[in-house]
Amino acid sequence: MTRMLKKFTLLDHAENAQSVVNRINLFRVALENRHNHPPGHESSFLGCPLVWDTGASFGLTPFRADFIDYVECKIPVKDISKTNTVIGIGTTLHKYSVDGKTYWLPCLSYHLPSADIRLFSPQVYHTLYGGNSTVEGDHTMMHIGDMNTGLRADVRVAIDRQGPNVPMIFNVSVTADEMERISPHINSALPRMERHTDFLGSYSKEHYADWSMDSVEAEFDHFSGFCGPCVASDANQNLSSAQKELLLWHWKLGISMHRIQELMREIPMEDPAGVKSVASQVIKPRLAGAATCAVHICQCCQLARAHQRKPNVKKSKAIPEAAGAISREKVEVGDFVSMDQYVCRTAGRLPTGYGREADSNKFHGGT
């Protein structure tokens, strides 16, 4: 983790996102004025090009399907005539096929649905995944590691001098099958960002304070990277909203949910003098149903109440009198008996040894 944190310094994502959008606007003008382009090109998932941009602080894509992993955010950015919103950041994956070989290009990118081109930041790629690039007059050369062979590969990206005059790659979209097959072999770019982390790998709340992230379990996000999605999140449809609030209070106070529901209810009281009153709520729930909803099972409580079990093992001793009881007095010498395996108490001679070997080394049965 120390090595990862040296890769990036603390980032102001609002400024970086705005910088990337400004780069998009520059390339939009160049693309609109280009003289030629591949037939069928359009701003769709399959046809949207990838611009290889050394000036981009991060990558950018308009498509959610480009991401391997994803963190939602809300970063307002100013476009030419209006204000748009970057709604996510994560690791994107693009492919580049040249000379019959396919190379995979991951990058840390923003998600801006209103964009009409993809941006690829080579410096971010090389910072995260190694290698280097050189820029020539009519092409750029990426020196990267080939995932197929594990060896160094030189990838050439052409520059169309008669067109937009920037390195551009077409047909970079990754299918769902390719994403499922390749993404497990790609290291996520998100942990490389500067953030306060601990053993659980949690994201710093301060780092995302300006992102306006919607999180009902913000208090417990600390553990989400280690334990997986929170059971109290909005995506969990197995629990009602009232049950989720009850569970959050249970985690916070560490007492039983039945006791918490008692603290959420007004309790009628009567003193020895017969004066009746109503005790106010100790806990005022956001949802009134939390005080009366069905109490569900808490996994932590079940584990805490668990006890060591002794397996039902019975010890038995062989009874000498019962040996051979099934066939006793039913089989006589010379009778034909069919069986899979048999044991003979009379030791049998080996083909060699002249019968002088010990009884333990003689035949005592067969199959």
Enclosing domain of residue 356: 337-367
Looking at the fold, whether 220 and 127 belong to one and the same domain comes out as no
* Mean pLDDT in residue range 1-15: 46
At residue 269, what is the residue type? Answer: M
What is residue 215's three-state secondary structure?
A: coil
pTM of the entire structure? 0.49
Report phi then psi at 298, rounded to 5: -105, 125
Between CA 69 and CA 225 the distance in angstroms is: 12
Residue scoring higher pLDDT (48 or 331): 48
- The answer as to whether 310 is a domain residue is no
Residue scoring higher pLDDT (167 or 328): 167
* Mean pLDDT in residue range 186-202: 57
CA nearest to 75, candidates 44, 114, 105, 49: 114
Looking at the fold, whether 150 and 15 belong to one and the same domain comes out as yes
Looking at the fold, whether 261 and 133 belong to one and the same domain comes out as no
Between CA 200 and CA 236 the distance in angstroms is: 22
How many separate domains does the chain show? Answer: 3
What is residue 123's three-state secondary structure?
A: helix
- Cβ atoms of 96 and 169 closer than 8 Å: yes
Q: Which of 64-73, 75-84, 123-132, 152-161 has the lowest mean pLDDT?
A: 75-84
Looking at the fold, whether 51 and 132 belong to one and the same domain comes out as yes
Looking at the fold, whether 6 and 133 belong to one and the same domain comes out as yes
Asked whether residue 188 carries a pLDDT value surpassing 50, the answer given is yes
> Which structure tokens are listed for 78?
């100013």
- The answer as to whether 242 is a domain residue is yes
Between CA 249 and CA 341 the distance in angstroms is: 65
* Mean pLDDT in residue range 120-125: 88
- The answer as to whether 30 is a domain residue is yes
User: SS3 letters for 240-305?
Assistant: CHHHHHHHHHHHHHCCCHHHHHHHHCCEEEECCCCCEEEECCCCCCCCHHHHCCCCCCCHHHHHHC
Q: How many CB atoms lie within 10 A of CB 86?
A: 26
- The answer as to whether 347 is a domain residue is yes
pLDDT band at 246 (very low <50, low <70, confident <90, very high): very high
CA nearest to 94, candidates 158, 157, 50, 142: 50
pLDDT band at 151 (very low <50, low <70, confident <90, very high): low
Looking at the fold, whether 155 and 266 belong to one and the same domain comes out as no
pLDDT at 200: 42
> Which structure tokens are listed for 357?
């070997």
pLDDT at 25: 65
Q: Which of 68-72, 113-117, 338-342 has the lowest mean pLDDT?
A: 338-342
- The answer as to whether 327 is a domain residue is no
Looking at the fold, whether 177 and 221 belong to one and the same domain comes out as no
Looking at the fold, whether 110 and 258 belong to one and the same domain comes out as no
Residue 278 bridge partners (DSSP) = 268
What is residue 125's three-state secondary structure?
A: helix
* Mean pLDDT in residue range 31-55: 66
* Mean pLDDT in residue range 103-129: 87
List, in order, residues 6 or more apart from 64 with CB less than 8 Å away: 70, 88, 111
> Which structure tokens are listed for 19?
């910088």
Helix (H) or strand (E) holding 13: helix 13-32
What is residue 179's three-state secondary structure?
A: helix
Between CA 176 and CA 97 the distance in angstroms is: 17
Looking at the fold, whether 185 and 229 belong to one and the same domain comes out as no
Between CA 38 and CA 41 the distance in angstroms is: 6
- Range picked from 138-147, 244-253, 312-321, 338-347 for highest mean pLDDT: 244-253
Report phi then psi at 6, rounded to 5: -75, -10
Distance of CA 18 to the CA centre of its chain: 28
- Range picked from 44-48, 78-82, 280-284 for highest mean pLDDT: 280-284
Between CA 361 and CA 57 the distance in angstroms is: 80
Looking at the fold, whether 138 and 227 belong to one and the same domain comes out as no
Asked whether residue 316 carries a pLDDT value surpassing 90, the answer given is no
- The answer as to whether 105 is a domain residue is yes
- The answer as to whether 323 is a domain residue is no
Q: CA of 222: how far to CAs of 69, 121, 204, 218, 330, in Å?
A: 18, 30, 8, 8, 75
* Mean pLDDT in residue range 150-166: 77
What is residue 98's three-state secondary structure?
A: strand
Write the Ramachandran bin of 263: left for phi over 0, alpha for psi from -120 to 50, otherwise beta.
alpha
- Cβ atoms of 84 and 114 closer than 8 Å: yes
Please provide the average confidence, as pLDDT, over all residues in the chain. Answer: 76
Between CA 230 and CA 300 the distance in angstroms is: 13
